């Protein structure tokens, strides 16, 4: 904020924006299910109209554009781990589709602007990411469990906790995004960015109870509709094309995240 070359502009990306820029990171869109489902129409507008406007901008000023896509484009996957050439299994009319289909449409727009107008596009598919400075009420599993454990509240496991996710520390993810943005001309991706170590949600709950020395007990809540059963990225492409892989082990990343939440809850 103190850097004289930094300018922060508040703008809703569903409306056009005229700027002079070299690189555009289109990260707009809430990513936590509870947040993106509050106003699903706004969520899909953000992804679709946001992609159109940022692509129109990229085309006009000849900027490179990176789209933050998501492992959600794979939906509830039938192949494991997920590789970029897998087309996914997404419910087009479910409560997650405002996010999943919005991001899929954004990928489609990126590739069409690339093929039709020669826009220099980059697509990164981000898998579950966590770390310090997540909102206390973010609603995703890592922050929920840490906040519940620190407050001695019940740990809310949805379903039986056997569903899996693979968690990436925020610093690793940011490094991956920057490498993707600055990757060679013509490499559009999509490329998976995530950590290829998979944990059940129950394992995560137990790990966090232990790490916080919490007295919280685990309670089971209904599994949300269309909640993916299993998710793990194949990151061979990111390794090969970006020389990237995550460096921070889950235990270290969780430790830093717990330290952060101790200060704010």
Report, as residue numbers or ranges, the catalytic residues.
99
200 counts as binding ligand UDP under rule CB under 6 A: no
Answer yes or no whether residue 52 interacts with ligand UDP by CB under 6 A.
Answer: yes
Q: How far apart are CA 25 and CA 65, in angstroms?
A: 6
- Minimal distance, residue 232 CB to ligand UDP, in Å: 12
The stretch near ligand UDP (CB under 6 A) out of 102-110, 184-192, 223-231, 247-255 is: 223-231
Q: State the Cα–Cα distance between residues 160 and 162, nearest whole angstrom.
A: 6
CB contact at 8 A, 66 and 183: no
64-70 vs 23-26, strand pairing mode = parallel
Taking a C-beta distance cutoff of 8 angstroms, is the pair 56, 116 a contact? no
Closer by beta carbon to ligand UDP, 109 or else 183: 109
Q: How far is the CB of 117 from ligand UDP (least distance, A)?
A: 7
Alpha carbon distance 263, 265 (integer Å) = 6
Among residues 158, 179, 196, 226, the one that binds ligand UDP under rule CB under 6 A: 158
3 state SS of 92: coil
In this structure, is the dihedral angle defined by the CA atoms of residues 37, 38, 40 and 43, taken in order, positive or negative? negative
* 152 contacts ligand UDP (rule: CB under 6 A): no
Q: For the chain, how many residues are written?
A: 265
Cβ neighbors of 100 (< 8 A, separation 6 or more) are 70, 72, 73, 75, 90, 91
Kindly state whether residue 33 participates in binding ligand UDP, applying the rule CB under 6 A. Answer: yes
- The pair of three-digit structure tokens given for residue 2, joined into one six-digit string: 């103190």
Nearest CB to ligand UDP, comparing residues 131 and 183: 131
User: For ligand UDP, which residue of 24, 165, 208, 254 counts as binding (CB under 6 A)?
Assistant: 165
Question: Which residues within the stretch 53-112 sit at the binding site for ligand UDP (CB under 6 A)?
Answer: 53, 56-57, 59-60
As measured in angstroms, the least distance from the Cβ of 40 to ligand UDP is: 14
Determine the interface stretch with ligand UDP among 78-86, 152-160, 170-178, 249-257 (rule: CB under 6 A). Answer: 152-160
Concatenate the DSSP letters of all residues of 151-190 into one string: HTPPEEEETTS--EE--EEHHHHHHHHHHHHTSPTT----
- With CB under 6 A as the contact rule, the residue among 162, 224, 247, 262 that binds ligand UDP is 224
Q: Is 147 in the site for ligand UDP (CB under 6 A)?
A: no
User: Of residues 51, 98, 157, 168, which one binds ligand UDP by CB under 6 A?
Assistant: 157
The binding site for ligand UDP (CB under 6 A) comprises 16-18, 32-33, 52-53, 56-57, 59-60, 128, 140-141, 144, 156-158, 163, 165, 201, 223-224, 227
């Amino acid at each position: 904020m103190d850097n004289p070359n930094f300018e922060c502009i508040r703008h809703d990306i569903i409306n056009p924006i005229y700027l002079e820029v070299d690189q555009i990171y289109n990260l707009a869109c809430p990513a936590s299910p509870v947040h993106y489902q509050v106003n699903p129409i706004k969520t899909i507008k953000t992804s679709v109209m946001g992609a159109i406007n940022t692509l129109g901008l990229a085309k006009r000023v000849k900027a490179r554009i990176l789209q933050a896509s998501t492992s959600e484009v794979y939906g509830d996957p039938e192949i494991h781990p997920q590789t970029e050439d897998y087309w996914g299994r997404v419910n087009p009319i479910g409560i997650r589709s405002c996010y999943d289909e919005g991001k899929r449409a954004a990928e489609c727009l990126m590739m069409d602007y690339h093929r039709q107008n020669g826009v220099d596009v980059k697509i990164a598919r981000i898998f579950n990411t966590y770390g310090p400075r997540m909102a206390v009420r973010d609603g995703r599993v890592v922050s929920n469990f840490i906040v519940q454990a620190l407050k001695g509240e019940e740990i809310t496991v949805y379903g039986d906790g056997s569903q899996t996710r693979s968690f990436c520390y925020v610093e690793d993810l940011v490094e991956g995004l920057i490498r993707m943005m600055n990757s060679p001309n013509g490499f559009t991706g999509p490329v998976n960015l995530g950590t290829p170590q998979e944990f059940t949600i129950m394992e995560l709950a137990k790990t966090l109870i232990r790490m916080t020395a919490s007295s919280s007990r685990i309670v089971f809540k209904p599994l949300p509709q269309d909640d993916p059963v299993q998710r793990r990225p194949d990151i061979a492409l990111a390794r090969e094309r970006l020389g990237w892989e995550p460096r921070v082990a889950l235990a270290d990343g969780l430790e830093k995240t717990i330290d952060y939440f101790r200060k704010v809850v």
